[in-house]
Structure 1
Amino acid sequence: MKKVQAYYSILQFCPEPARLEYVNVGIFLFCQDKQYVGVKFSETPRRVEKLYGPQNHAFFNTLKDAFSERVRVEFSQFQERSLIERFASMRANQLRMSKLLPMSVLDPDKDLSELFYELVGVEKPNSRRSSVRSKLKNIFKDAGVLDFLDEPEPVSLPEFGIDVSVPFGYQNGSYNLIDPVRLDHDAPADALKEAGKRAIEGKWLEAHFSNEQAKKRLVVVGDFDKQPDNFYRAVLDLMSEHKVSLHRLDALDSLLTDIKQHMPHH
């Protein structure tokens, strides 16, 4: 596998734009050849607080979520570089994007993480914080099912104003959208936020296709590394209530078995 052309932008935050002292808080990565658009943010505004003092964490998280959702909606069709440059040039408030810079990538998820730790530098990468998507992809590959999985197009839910975008999918009577999610955050509130988002998306997905013959459902694979069992059980209950299937990243036998049983349908 050879490297291909990609472009990245540094995401910078300033609570007082008039001061023009922006702090690096994230990375945006775009690779048209691999149909990849990725965003990685600092979990907290800790670096901003070193310069500006205490910040409103809820506002910071809302700003990140709004930007990430905007990117997902705007670039779900993997637009050309010129359109992304135009998008970046329009970001001039508290959160802005630097000029797009070229780089070569082999594994966009891994390259995004490495770029993040190099330029944002909140903490050094370790195996626990490596991409859950990459971990899951390797598990699928080792189990011999990766080639039988789809790369689904984003599923639009216009009545709710969102698209559900996941890296893997397969058919077993219903169409299963597999979403790998990191749920091993040091702050339980951050993990619950991620779990809650998927629960709501899964409920809306089930509701949207409830009257159609071709059903779709969300399957979440969560990395619960170092989380207590009671936390996992609480998330499992939440997902079940919202019609979402939940699997632990370290216990995927049932999911792998189901994929293998339905491989002839691909």
Structure 2
Amino acid sequence: MTKAFYSLIQFCPDIGRQETFNVGLVLFRPEPHLFVVRLARNSGVNARFDVGMAPGLFEATKQAFRNRLEHEARQFRTPGDLAAFKASGTNQLRLTAPREVSLHDPVADSQALFDELVGADRRPVGRRAARGPRVGTRLREALRDRAVLPLVEEKVQVVVPALRTTMQVAFAYQNGRYNLVEPVDFSTRDDVMRQERTAWYALGGRSLFEEPDPQHGDRRLVVVARLPDEPVASRMVSEMLQDNQVHCFPLSDEGLDRLASEIRTHAALHHV
């Protein structure tokens, strides 16, 4: 096992708003020297976010950033060298401050970090090792087994005004509000990443709650959450979501039963 450092490559479509999303990962090990850059595929990024530029230009921007980063990395000796790196010619791509990580297998570990923090096809989710199936897989199976899957809409595209993006939520149902159901893993052991993820859904949830949709009217974000094992962290996630009008069902038999019951009850009331 060796000590290494990672930074996220973030893209900021609108410098004025300073909102960013992750498009890549840098892994740096001083001794023996290792430098790995992983970038998200354009297809995955464009499906999740409005990058504000043509796909070809966005790809060229990423590759130019990567090329300069890899060139200058030959001189990197400490994590401070990585932290000092500045983008050239654009303020839209930037690196986060380096964070320490232990490496067992550089290839496997860099891929695991990339999957957790960047991802190819979805927003970041927590690491799943030894924790059972994906939250989304378990949620869908639970709705199917409880015979309410035919009562919900699937793969619903929604605009989130505060985040200036379009997201695809897993399910939706009516109960007087248009409830947008999204499975989320908050169980990552990275405290900062968990807080950022929670804040992202809290901000998006409040925006959806406060700004009605022209077609569906009032909305609410409903999160089916794999919560942290640690009670204080779990309470922090739940309370931040609740304070921002996000309804949170824990990923447990009891939580899934309550969600299924609500869907079934309101489907009857709304003649679904």
Contact 2:205 2:246 in 1 (8 A): yes
Q: Find out whether 1:146 has 2:149 as its counterpart.
A: yes
Q: 1:191 offset after TM fit, Å?
A: 1.4
* Offset, 1:158: 4.6
Letter in 1 for 2:231: D
Matches within 5 A, 1:156-171: 156-158=159-161, 160-171=163-174
Equivalent of residue 236 in structure 2, options 234, 237, 256: 234
Contact 1:224 1:249 in 2 (8 A): yes
Query: Secondary structure at 1:195's aligned position in 2?
Result: helix
Per the alignment, residue 49 of structure 2 pairs with: 73
Deviations 1:206-257 (Å, cap 9, x if unpaired)?
12129998211100111125x2222222222111211110111113222111
Asked if 1 retains the 8 angstrom alpha-carbon contact of 2:49 and 2:167, the reply is no
**Cα distance, 1:118 vs structure 2:** 10
Q: State the TM-score, normalized to the length of structure 2.
A: 0.56
Corresponding residue for 1:259?
Answer: 263
CA RMSD for the aligned pairs? 4.4
- Matched residue type, 2:241: M
Structure 1 distance, partners of 2:168, 2:203, is: 14
Residue 94 (structure 1) aligns with: 65
Q: Kindly provide the amino acid, as one letter, of the partner of residue 189 in structure 1.
A: V
Normalising by structure 1, we get a TM-score of: 0.58
Long gaps (5+) in structure 2: 1-5, 10-21, 68-106, 116-126
Contact 1:202-1:217 at 8 Å conserved across structures = yes
Letter in 1 for 2:49: V
Give the letter for the 1:143 counterpart.
Answer: R
Unaligned 5+ residue runs, structure 1? 1-13, 16-24, 27-39, 76-82, 97-115
Give the Cα separation in 1 of the matches to 2:248 and 2:170. 16
Aligned residues of 1:117 and 1:125 also touching (Cα < 8 A)? no
Q: Distance in 2 between matches of 1:161 and 1:150?
A: 23
**Cross-structure match for 1:155:** 158
Contact 2:156/2:172 (CA < 8 Å) preserved in 1? no
Q: CA deviation at 1:117?
A: 6.2
What is the aligned residue count?
195
Deviations 1:186-223 (A, max 9, x none): 11221121111000000111121299982111001111
Counterpart for residue 120 of structure 1: 111
Structure-2 separation of matches of 1:191 and 1:162: 20
